[in-house]
Amino acid sequence: MSLEATLALLDDGVEQHRLRPLDAAFARFLAERDAQVEPRLLVMAALASRLLGDGHPCLDLQALDVLGAEYDWPTAWIELARGTPTPSPLLAGPDGLPAPAPLVLDRHRLYLRRYWRYECNVARGILTRLHTDETPVEGLRGELQRLFAATPDDAVDWPRVACALAARGAFSVITGGPGTGKTTTVVRLLGLLQTLHLREQSKPLRIRLAAPTGKAAARLNTSIARQIAQLDVDESVRAAIPMEVETLHRLLGARPDSRHYAYNQRHPLHLDVLVVDEASMIDLEMMAAVLDALPPRARLILLGDKDQLSSVEAGAVLGDLGRRAEQAHYGASTAAWLRDTSGDDVSAFVRDDATPLDQHVAMLRDSHRFDAASGIGRLAAAVNAGDARGVHALLASRSTDIAWLPDGAADTPLAVIATEGDADRFASAPSGDAPRGFRFYLDRLQQLRPLAQADHAIYQHWAHQVLDAFNHFQLLCAVRQGPAGTEQLNREIAAKLYASGLIETDRGWYEGRPVMMTHNDYSLGLMNGDVGITLRMPATDGTLRLYAAFPLTRGASSRADEASEDVVRCVLPSRLGEVETVYAMTVHKSQGSEFEHTALVLPEEASPILTRELLYTGITRARRWLSLIGTPASLEQALAQRTRRYSGLAERLDLPP
Ligand SMILES: Nc1ncnc2c1ncn2[C@@H]1O[C@H](COP(=O)(O)OP(=O)(O)OP(=O)(O)O)[C@@H](O)[C@H]1O
């Protein structure tokens, strides 16, 4: 097939919405660079570009048929893309040569060069740390005994195992579902590392804490502060554990309109230990930047839930790293070391095919947030296991923390849930405490409103209280479009709140309007996904004006016009640019947040977005009450459909296929 015919075929693909205009344009760009290029390579490149749009860092040529079926690619494309491409100046080999070639074929994976480089750098950064000398840490055993209560001989205390393994190596992954004690464990670990270090050295370890988003950083900030206060260590040690959690962007010194960071290999971060929470949200590019900026001897500790949705951008780093966490795959020597050091018997988790990475991964298994009776906890576990029968049994039984509305979004009293919380649908708990809807924060907004002449600090406090109250409830959707999508539900809910007299209008900017940033604005210090509430606050001349009030994260950038005790950042709507109303948000955007009451709405029509990971992530955003709005068919679909990201990272880290 001629080049022109191939490009025309790809253009057809754009018209049929199988490719994005960008994908066909990329193929055309390649054809312009090399008139001799094989049609095969052009098709492969367009497909790799298309997959990148869905978060796959590469096109796995061994998976062409599976991908073709999944994406409904024409047979002609698959046939054209089959086989090994012949050498071309546009195509580098696994050594990356020739250097400027925009495509790289590494084993059976075709990459756009940038993503190949990220993947190689991430693998190299991790492998180097896996093979850093694991010096036996003096005193580790004694500290573990002091920090963790004794357990029966054959019991495994997973937080203790995680702590021991993370203290031993320069790289570790601590994964676990919601409330399994990741934060508690890492605070103990930091106490332990700092205690041991201060015994030998006069200067404490330089520890930094970070999270991918402002919301996740703020949440960790709160829980870290609580945990440090409870930690049983010397005051000097306690004082040497940081309480401030930064966003990764801020930690790395992000620059506006640039992919480059102030901290990198040439200007590494000044730290000895870096802890990153909500690591499931870190994409390949960000992970490469983190590893690039880490000094060679610094420890990296990743915390997160491997079963959550992967990052929106390319890669599934935590998913790849934690792929074997369930079975642990410890080697005999790790098991012997643990028995000796932490006293834990992990012999049931020893496997012959143990890899170096496996020895650095620990999974926490017991949720302290959800007890054995908790419907949400059991539902999350059943969803994770793909246990459809268990899911239906749980949903069919009346529960204090789950309400199921099986009729789907179309004819459910969604507006009632959103406004009032719909407590009657839950079996009442002994405490009498009940789920609430949006009326809660809108009532608080009015009831707690300061007097017009009140000073700045009182307005700040009020805005903070309203934001807190807003966080009680969130409506989550799998999709943006359609009757169960965020766009329509946001309109419907605003109309309902207006009809109920809770907001003054449902158009434009109005008091009470919750908004979400849809881009990073470095000058405002606001990041994509940050949520604020529109409030009447005093301007510098004392008049009340509408501002969007965003919670201030310690560790986010501060501005000259803000007092150091400010807890809220107020921005004039005219300065904000693009934002979305956010009564309803997508599950993707809700990662890193939790709400007392979450209502999760599933679409009735089949969607590739509706997966098990999405359902699990949505359910686990609920701390105490979950309203699940979805038909049995949509639940079945979500349970049966897995997200899979094609990537070469696991293989580069020597994990078996
Ligand atoms: N071993 C334990 N025994 C009893 N309670 C615990 C234990 N570990 C943690 N907790 C409690 O369980 C709750 C959740 O712990 P933590 O915040 O450490 O979990 P997490 O995995 O970080 O949660 P999240 O899903 O919110 O990130 C906290 O209230 C904590 O005090």
Q: For a substitution probing ligand 1, which of 173, 174, 184, 591 has the most ligand atoms within 8 Å of its CB?
A: 184
How far, in Å, CA of 564 to CA of 338, rounded?
A: 46
214 is known to lie in a ligand binding site: no
Average pLDDT, stretch 485-513?
93
Contact 645, 319 (CB under 8 A): yes
* Ligand 1 site, residue 180, Cβ cutoff 6 A: yes
- Strand, helix or coil for residue 321: helix
E strand map for 231-307? 245-247, 273-276, 299-304
**Residue that is written with structure tokens 């409030």 in the block:** 535
Structure tokens that stand for 308 in this block: 């959550």
**Out of 173-177, 525-529, 623-627, least confident range:** 525-529
53 is known to lie in a ligand binding site: no
How far, in Å, CA of 323 to CA of 476, rounded?
A: 27
* Ligand 1 site, residue 177, Cβ cutoff 6 A: no
How far, in Å, CA of 146 to CA of 196, rounded?
A: 13
Average pLDDT, stretch 506-521?
92
Average pLDDT, stretch 491-519?
93
How far, in Å, CA of 591 to CA of 582, rounded?
A: 14
Structure tokens that stand for 330 in this block: 């410890």
For the chain, percent of residues with pLDDT exceeding 70: 96
Nearest CA to ligand 1 atom 6: 368
How far, in Å, CA of 518 to CA of 540, rounded?
A: 27
Per-residue confidence (pLDDT) for residue 350, from 0 to 100: 95
Per-residue confidence (pLDDT) for residue 70, from 0 to 100: 84
Structure tokens that stand for 304 in this block: 């997160």
* Ligand 1 site, residue 175, Cβ cutoff 6 A: no
151 is known to lie in a ligand binding site: no
- What is the CB neighbour count within 10 angstroms for residue 88? 19
* Ligand 1 site, residue 183, Cβ cutoff 6 A: yes
How would residue 102 be classed by pLDDT, with cut points 50, 70 and 90?
very high
Closest C-alpha among 17, 18, 30, 16 to residue 7? 30
How far, in Å, CA of 619 to CA of 600, rounded?
A: 7
How far, in Å, CA of 91 to CA of 93, rounded?
A: 7
Structure tokens that stand for 262 in this block: 């102030």
Give the pairing of strands 273-276 and 207-211.
parallel
Helix (H) or strand (E) holding 174, with range, is strand 171-176
**Residue that is written with structure tokens 């792929």 in the block:** 323
* Ligand 1 site, residue 280, Cβ cutoff 6 A: no
**How wide is the angle at C-alpha 649 spanned by C-alphas 644 and 650, nearest 5°?**
80
**How wide is the angle at C-alpha 629 spanned by C-alphas 624 and 635, nearest 5°?**
105
Per-residue confidence (pLDDT) for residue 412, from 0 to 100: 53
| Ligand 1 atom nearest to CA at 220 | 27
Per-residue confidence (pLDDT) for residue 405, from 0 to 100: 87
* pTM as predicted: 0.89
How far, in Å, CA of 639 to CA of 385, rounded?
A: 9
How far, in Å, CA of 436 to CA of 590, rounded?
A: 18
* Ligand 1 site, residue 195, Cβ cutoff 6 A: no
Is the pLDDT score of 410 beyond 60? no
182 is known to lie in a ligand binding site: yes
Is the pLDDT score of 401 beyond 80? yes
| Helix, strand and coil percent figures for the chain, each rounded to 5 | 40, 15, 40
Cα-to-centroid distance, 307 and ligand 1 (Å):
18
How would residue 559 be classed by pLDDT, with cut points 50, 70 and 90?
low
* Ligand 1 site, residue 182, Cβ cutoff 6 A: yes
Structure tokens that stand for 202 in this block: 């006069």
Cα-to-centroid distance, 159 and ligand 1 (Å):
10
Cα-to-centroid distance, 181 and ligand 1 (Å):
4
Nearest CA to ligand 1 atom 3: 368
Q: Which residue has the higher pLDDT, 596 or 221?
A: 596
Is the pLDDT score of 138 beyond 80? no
| Ligand 1 atom nearest to CA at 368 | 12
Backbone angles phi, psi at 259, to 5 degrees: -85, -5
The ipTM estimated for the assembled molecules is: 0.97
| Ligand 1 atom nearest to CA at 223 | 17
The upper half-sphere exposure of residue 94, i.e. CA atoms within 13 Å in the direction of its Cβ, equals: 6
Average pLDDT, stretch 339-343?
91
Cα-to-centroid distance, 185 and ligand 1 (Å):
8
- 308, 329, 413, 628 from 602: Cα distances, Å: 17, 36, 14, 8
- What is the CB neighbour count within 10 angstroms for residue 447? 9
Residues counted in the chain: 657
183 is known to lie in a ligand binding site: yes
* Ligand 1 site, residue 178, Cβ cutoff 6 A: yes
176 is known to lie in a ligand binding site: yes
Average pLDDT, stretch 107-123?
96
Average pLDDT, stretch 216-234?
86
Nearest CA to ligand 1 atom 7: 181
Contact 435, 422 (CB under 8 A): yes
Cα-to-centroid distance, 367 and ligand 1 (Å):
7
Per-residue confidence (pLDDT) for residue 555, from 0 to 100: 47
486 is known to lie in a ligand binding site: no
How far, in Å, CA of 359 to CA of 336, rounded?
A: 12
Per-residue confidence (pLDDT) for residue 219, from 0 to 100: 82
Average pLDDT, the chain: 90
Crossing angle (nearest 10°) for helices 632-640 and 612-619: 110
Is the pLDDT score of 135 beyond 80? no
Give the best-scoring range by mean pLDDT among 391-405, 430-444, 457-471: 457-471
* Ligand 1 site, residue 377, Cβ cutoff 6 A: no
Under DSSP, the state recorded for 378 is H
Per-residue confidence (pLDDT) for residue 89, from 0 to 100: 92
Cα-to-centroid distance, 244 and ligand 1 (Å):
19
Nearest CA to ligand 1 atom 5: 368
How far, in Å, CA of 426 to CA of 619, rounded?
A: 16
* Ligand 1 site, residue 223, Cβ cutoff 6 A: yes
How would residue 557 be classed by pLDDT, with cut points 50, 70 and 90?
very low
* Ligand 1 site, residue 85, Cβ cutoff 6 A: no
| Ligand 1 atom nearest to CA at 184 | 18
Give the pairing of strands 514-517 and 595-601.
unpaired
- What is the CB neighbour count within 10 angstroms for residue 593? 20
The letter for the amino acid at 574 is: S
Is the pLDDT score of 556 beyond 50? no
How would residue 558 be classed by pLDDT, with cut points 50, 70 and 90?
low
Per-residue confidence (pLDDT) for residue 315, from 0 to 100: 86
Is the pLDDT score of 338 beyond 70? yes
Instruction: Look at phi and psi of residue 72 and say left if phi exceeds 0, alpha if psi is from -120 to 50, else beta.
Output: left
**How wide is the angle at C-alpha 482 spanned by C-alphas 476 and 486, nearest 5°?**
30
Contact 339, 156 (CB under 8 A): no
Average pLDDT, stretch 539-547?
90
Cα-to-centroid distance, 400 and ligand 1 (Å):
22
Nearest CA to ligand 1 atom 4: 368
296 is known to lie in a ligand binding site: no
Rg over alpha carbons for the chain, rounded to the nearest Å, is 26
Backbone angles phi, psi at 76, to 5 degrees: -60, -40
Is the pLDDT score of 560 beyond 80? no
Average pLDDT, stretch 448-469?
92
Is the pLDDT score of 94 beyond 90? yes
**Sheet of strand 273-276, all strands in order from the earlier edge strand to the far edge:** 245-247, 207-211, 273-276, 299-304, 171-176, 361-364
How far, in Å, CA of 13 to CA of 40, rounded?
A: 15
Q: For a substitution probing ligand 1, which of 368, 621, 624 has the most ligand atoms within 8 Å of its CB?
A: 368
Cα-to-centroid distance, 524 and ligand 1 (Å):
34
Closest C-alpha among 111, 272, 138 to residue 199? 138
Crossing angle (nearest 10°) for helices 39-53 and 3-15: 20
The residues facing 405 across adjacent strands are 629
Nearest CA to ligand 1 atom 12: 368
Helix (H) or strand (E) holding 210, with range, is strand 207-211
**Out of 130-134, 378-382, 394-398, 478-482, least confident range:** 130-134
What is the DSSP secondary-structure string of 527-592? Answer: -TT-EEEEEEEE-TTS-EEEEEEEEPPBTB---TTS-TT--EEEE-HHHH-SEEE-SEEEHHHHTT
How far, in Å, CA of 245 to CA of 190, rounded?
A: 14
| Ligand 1 atom nearest to CA at 219 | 26
